[in-house]
Amino acid sequence: MNRIFSGVQPTGNLHLGNYLGAIRNWVRLQGDFECIFCVVDLHAITQWQEPAALRHSTREVAAAMIAAGVDPRENIIFHQSANPSHAELAWVLNCVARMGWLNRMTQFKEKAGKNRENASVGLFAYPNLMAADILAYKATHVPVGEDQKQHLELTRDVAAKFNNDFGVDLFPLTEPLILGTATRVMSLRDGTKKMSKSDPSEYSRIAMADGPDEIAKKIRKAKTDPEPLPETAGGLEGRPEAANLLGIHAALADSDLESVIAEHGGRPFSDFKRDLSDLAVATLGPIGDEMRRLMADPAHIDAILRDGAERARAITRPILEEVYDTIGFLRP
Ligand code: TRP
């Protein structure tokens, strides 16, 4: 069976963009693939994290996956630092990937900003750790959004160079899994910017853990323009906020933009927002409730993560041994 690996960073609260763009799709992959879902805490510390917040976030990401419907018995849910194979293989891949390849990574340039000299070495090597995540399991497929495509290409390059350098066929060339159902959710305050946990305004995003009142309030206050909703998809040209709210509606209703426009086109935003708010509360409310229930019992979440980590280690240990043999390391 094909094997999927995917990761989410435990930094800040998960929001609607994480749900509609990633987590919800994972729920749909279970059964068709062997799925390994990882809370990538090693990646999180490429930028400084407050320790208590990191612990909280790690549990919250696990809770969100489970609350959204990922079954931790059928799939593996664990946190990256609990399986040493990730860091071990990352070191090997640091010695395979070339400086020039990493220098081209756009995410590093964005995250490091103007002060590259002051970025952590880990932030620069981040894509090699991501390649290690995937290759330690010989994962065949990775569901990726637009922003992670370049990292997956690097993973393929690193895998191919390792295979070539040692004359082996050890690592697969992992395929991206582009999901038609993934939705790019934009900020509620600015329809041209991606919904983000780092936006200073709470009103820019709906958190997965938000209760019904918060969800309703944020949708009510979402930025709009003065015109009623367009009657055709073409009418969304130059109206990013309308496009975003209609897109969110379509995703939450598991429908498509055309059908939502056919139903709501021509109505004022205020009417539409009432419907959207009801829909969002009906869809996200139960997930938020379940997240809060799970978060009230951290020991239970930790037990799930521990069990997942044990199964993760059982997969990667023999693969790491194969890698070490190939390189020429003596058995300890
Ligand atoms: N870099 C990914 C992100 O920021 C998270 C991630 C880490 C990941 N390792 C991965 C995603 C392996 C897919 C596969 O979204």
Q: How far apart are CA 327 and CA 322, in angstroms?
A: 9
CB atoms within 10 A of CB 54: 17
CATH superfamily of this structure's domain 3-183+298-327: HUPs (3.40.50.620)
- Domain span(s) for CATH 1.10.240.10 in the chain: 202-293
Mark whether 149 is an active-site residue: no
Write out the DSSP string of 35-52: EEEEE-HHHHTTS---HH
- Look-up: residue for tokens 């969304």? 236
Find residue 35's DSSP bridge partners: 4
Q: Which of helix, strand or coil describes residue 79? A: strand
pLDDT tens, per residue, the chain with 332 residues: 799 999 999 998 899 999 998 899 999 999 999 999 999 999 999 999 999 999 999 999 999 999 999 999 999 999 999 999 999 999 999 999 999 999 999 999 999 999 999 999 999 999 999 999 999 999 999 998 888 999 999 999 999 999 999 999 999 999 999 876 677 899 999 999 999 988 999 999 999 999 999 999 999 999 999 999 999 999 999 999 999 999 999 999 999 999 999 999 999 999 999 999 999 999 999 999 999 999 999 999 999 999 999 999 999 999 999 999 999 999 99
Q: How far apart are CA 170 and CA 163, in angstroms?
A: 6
Catalytic-labelled residue, pool 111, 138, 217, 223: 111
- Domain span(s) for CATH 3.40.50.620 in the chain: 3-183+298-327
* Residue to mutate, 38, 81, 148, ligand 1, most ligand atoms under 8 Å from C-beta: 148
What are the strands of the beta sheet with 34-39, ordered from one edge?
76-79, 34-39, 3-8, 141-143, 175-177
Please report the beta strands in 167-263, taking only residues with DSSP state E, as ranges in sequence order: 175-177
Q: Which two tokens stand for residue 91?
A: 């070191």
Q: Which architecture does CATH list for 202-293?
A: Orthogonal Bundle (1.10)
The residues near 244 (Cβ < 8 Å, ≥ 6 apart) are 185, 186, 187, 188, 191
Catalytic-labelled residue, pool 138, 161, 193, 197: 197
Mark whether 138 is an active-site residue: no
CB atoms within 10 A of CB 45: 18
- Look-up: residue for tokens 């009432």? 274
- Verdict on whether the full-model pTM lies above 0.85: yes
Contact between 252 and 183 under an 8 Å Cβ cutoff? The reply is no
Mark whether 197 is an active-site residue: yes
